[in-house]
Structure 1
Amino acid sequence: MKVLVLGAGAVGGYFGARLAEKGVDVTFLVRERRREQLKQRGLRVQSVHGDIHLEQPQLIVSGEKAGPFDVILLSNKAYHLDDSIESIEPYVGGNTVILPLLNGIAHMERLWDTFGRDRVLGGLCFIETTLNPEGDVVQTSQTHDMVFGEWEGGGSERVEALKQAFAGTKASIRASADVQRDMWQKYLFITTLSGITTLMNSSVGPIRDAVYGLELTRQLAEESAAVMRKLGAPIDEDVEDKQMDTFMKQGYRMKASMLRDMEKGLPVEADHLQGFLIQKADQLGIAVPMLKVVYNNLKVYELKREAAK
């Protein structure tokens, strides 16, 4: 099975390296600058689950001839979605399956419109990774999960083929018979986690310890879940309780990737995550004051970032 991973950043670099470590035929589609960095240094992963060093990873730059590929793994940020779609189009063949690991849900419509619903699987991941100044992937928590499945649920031959190809990888990769539910519930968790950590400019631990930290976190989760239910999302009845249980289990220093991006002065996915839910809430007449506070904080960051350029 030939796999194309779009990018070799914190998420794509990690899962792509794990697949290549296992022996899967993996190619990374990267920008020219990243290719030169990886040619000189190789793709290095520092992980609590064991380090990896791919001395000569297979690399292509957009426009170079390659493929078609059996699977294209999308791990880009949502604000790069249009560019990502343009980059992968030349490598999509008659039987190519596209597996997105983006946060949120809004990207699915865009992918369906471009490639057709039959080509796009549902997918998500749970992982805490970043790139260090040398361009190495640093993975620091026990969680390194990737989940995929047919959007309409159930199983299929192609999902089974992926399951078999990825079996034995030193990461938790599994097929789901209800990936819509998994994606919506991950969306709820990441909206809450990214929202509260960026609003408080803090890792999880101090937020839990502060006087109103858990109350505000719960309010954010409840507002987001209320919008999702009105949209018909297949989330659990007690999802807020489960989300708070998960929040309590996070490491003291755990930060959402959005906060790490802010600390580096990078763009954030405010519109794709919190903004999407606020737009739907306004259309549905649902009050989401906490969600709007979170979103406004992110938009202030974006304005200050733009002004500093």
Structure 2
Amino acid sequence: MKILVVGAGAVGGYFGGRLVQAGRDVTFLVRPKRARLIEARGLRIVGLGEETTLHPRTLLANEITSAYDLVLVSVKASALRSAMDDFAPAVGPGTLVLPVLNGMRHVDELAGRFGERRVLGGVVMVSTTLDAEGDILRLADVQSLTYGSRAGPAPDELVGVLGGAGFETRLAADIVGEMWAKWVFIAATGAVTCLMRATVGEVASTPGGVEFARAVVAECAAVAEAAGHPVPADSLDATRQTVTAAHSSLTSSAYRDLILDRPVEVEEIFGDLVRRAEQFGAPVPLLGLTTLNLRVYQRRRA
């Protein structure tokens, strides 16, 4: 199966790199700057005692000449529309598109462009970032990919392609529900760390911090339930425990972007959740405050 990984950053570079290591037929669709870096240094995965250097195939947008069987979309949400234009020539009659972006808004855009049945749902759990050299830096030993069909039969043909590649994989019966559960998790951790400008542990060890974090989780979970996708009790309890751990150094990707003065996925993670809450009549004052705070930050950057 021919796989095109759109983006070779902290997420796409990691999972695509593991697929390359496992001998899969992988090509990365990248921007010219990233292509030059990979040509010069290789695609490097480092951290937690690892120093892996790979030399995968790369393509620029105007170099796609044939369709691929699987397109793994891993760009930031802000780059999705331009990325769709770039990889459109790679989408043929039998192509499956597997996005692993945050939130749910990207699914509507991809399905509108390429069709409901072609676009799968995906959830990744990974703690990576790009360091100053452009290497993929592992921050924690977490790496999993859950995927499934949003409409139509399960994509059983992917089990042998994605499995056994150095990360946990699972074909989910209810991928949309799992996407909502992850959205609740990343919105909760993002709101706690971004609004307080601190790690989870710093917030939780401060008087009132645990109560604040629990209230954020409750708001996120209420939106999911109103949307018809209540988060399972064990998953919701794990999210509560994560954001109230007093000695945790955990941050969120949104927080890391924030402190490095990078664009933050405000609308995709928080704004869209607030918009849906308003439609359902679910009060979310803390999520609303987080969204306003980060919108001000984005406007200041602009």
Give a deviation string over 1:148-184, Cα, whole Å, max 9, x none: 011148x63xx22211112221111222122111110
Q: Distance in 2 between matches of 1:64 and 1:152?
A: 31
Query: CA 1:207–1:242 in structure 2 vs 1: closer, same or farther (change >3 Å)?
Result: same
Structure 1 unmatched ranges of 5 or more:
none
Q: Distance in 1 between matches of 2:182 and 2:246?
A: 15
Structure 1 residue 284: Cα displacement: 3.0
Where does 1:1-309 land on structure 2 (aligned, <5 Å)? 1-48=1-48, 50-54=50-54, 56-152=55-151, 156=154, 159-236=155-232, 240-248=236-244, 252-306=248-302
Structure 1 residue 145: Cα displacement: 1.1
Q: Secondary structure at the match of 2:104?
A: coil
Q: Distance in 1 between matches of 2:207 and 2:117?
A: 49
Structure 1 residue 48: Cα displacement: 2.9
For 1:113, the aligned partner's letter is G
RMSD: 1.8
| TM-score when normalising by structure 2 | 0.94
Structure 1 residue 248: Cα displacement: 4.8
For 1:192, the aligned partner's letter is A
Q: Distance in 2 between matches of 1:84 and 1:25?
A: 21
Q: Distance in 2 between matches of 1:173 and 1:251?
A: 30
Larger mean Cα displacement after TM superposition, 92-101 or 296-305: 296-305
Query: CA 1:250–1:29 in structure 2 vs 1: closer, same or farther (change >3 Å)?
Result: farther
Q: Distance in 2 between matches of 1:83 and 1:45?
A: 26
The alignment-based identity, stated in percent, is 36
Give a deviation string over 1:97-121, Cα, whole Å, max 9, x none: 0000001011111111111111111
Structure 1 residue 23: Cα displacement: 0.4
Q: Secondary structure at the match of 1:63?
A: helix
Number of residue pairs matched? 302
Q: Distance in 2 between matches of 1:37 and 1:212?
A: 46
Give a deviation string over 1:28-71, Cα, whole Å, max 9, x none: 000011111110110000143743211x2100001113331111
Query: CA 1:251–1:175 in structure 2 vs 1: closer, same or farther (change >3 Å)?
Result: farther
| TM-score when normalising by structure 1 | 0.92
Larger mean Cα displacement after TM superposition, 285-294 or 267-276: 285-294
Structure 1 residue 234: Cα displacement: 4.3
Q: Is the 8 A contact 1:30 1:62 kept in 2?
A: yes
Q: Distance in 1 between matches of 2:233 and 2:18?
A: 35
Q: Secondary structure at the match of 2:62?
A: coil
Structure 2 unmatched ranges of 5 or more:
none
Q: Secondary structure at the match of 2:11?
A: helix
